[in-house]
Structure 1
Amino acid sequence: MAEAMGLRERKKLQTEMRIYRVAVDLFAERGFDEVSVQQIADAAEVSKMTVFNYFGTKEELVFKPMVEHFSDAARAVRERMPGESAVGAVRRQFLAMVERRDPSIGLHGDPFARRIRAVIMATPVLRERAYVESEKGARELADLLTEETGDPTLALIAAATLATARSALVEEHHRRIDAGESVGEVAADAVERARRAFDLVEKGLKDYAVRA
């Protein structure tokens, strides 16, 4: 991607990533509430205005790079193949992410990435933001299924079920790695665990929202 960018775009991306990494490191060291945007700007050697040009709020200094992943389940359903159910699409996407050890589902050992999670878990306002973003993702999926099926109640139930199953699997990855297991150990049985989870969901949803 960097090769396809011009010099200006590469410099902007480098600046954004420097601000992001500096902010997360400061939050981890001092606490989210104890760090000001001005302190982040000073540490990143940019102006406060530059920080806000890249990140509209202080919370976005944590969430901006990950927000798109709250829509992963909706994306899977939106792009599913003919004859594929909603649960089938979400399962297929999740299994592919397990296979490549996608950081967005917790299968990574990178200290910086785990530092981000630690900051979120230690900060009530960030935990609330994570909950809100998760709910928005589930609502996006529910709205999509409502458009296809015409039944908003069943769409909401299906979306909530799929989102909960997916979140539980991701949380399990984090919990085990936080407890000291290696990424390899967790990934070794993650595919089978995910299959069992989505099979359980499918028993109640297997004939729901099959694309014509």
Structure 2
Amino acid sequence: MTILHIDSSILGGHSVSRSLSAAIVARQQVLHPHSRVIYRDLAVDAALHLSGPHMAAFQGGAVSDAALGADIAAGGAYIDDLFAADVIVIGAPMYNFSVPSQLKAWIDRVCVAGRTFQYGANGPEGLLPQGKKVFIASSRGGVYTGDSPAAVLEHHETYLRGVLGFIGLSDVTVVRAEGLARGDEARAAALAQAKREIAALAA
């Protein structure tokens, strides 16, 4: 059993998504005692944003810049992580109604035609093997679920579910703590609910 643990928050020890993703991993380790963990901290070791030279290299152009070469190699390693993992845990705070840019840069590296998806006769097909489980540790200052007026601005969990499904990762569980900026009581309640959900996770 291999667990891929990805964090993307810039808040370090103050991050709710980091605390939740760590708790999910710890729960998975209880359920799977002999598992190994691959850890990626995208805030500490972020991929470069896509550029013209990236696209040229992807189409077979020469790579003369060492930083670009290293970044392309890192992208290949991110894809290898996904194929190796049985369980994928992603810490994903909401920044300005969507995911952090460093998590988006990771997504840009793992959504690669011919590697993680392809276009077939019936449209796009994910190439990652079936049976992988994904857990998203979601944290948000506001409330974007239910009949909240802010729901129209939610391009966070829906985006992640969509892009993960695009590459074949359809078994996605979201553990959410939202309303964190609505005062101490709301924050405590959201965290307590998220922790209860983590404790109840089954194999």
Is TM > 0.5 for Structure 1 vs Structure 2?
no
What is the TM-score normalised by the length of structure 1? 0.30
Q: Answer 1 or 2: which has greater strand percent.
A: 2
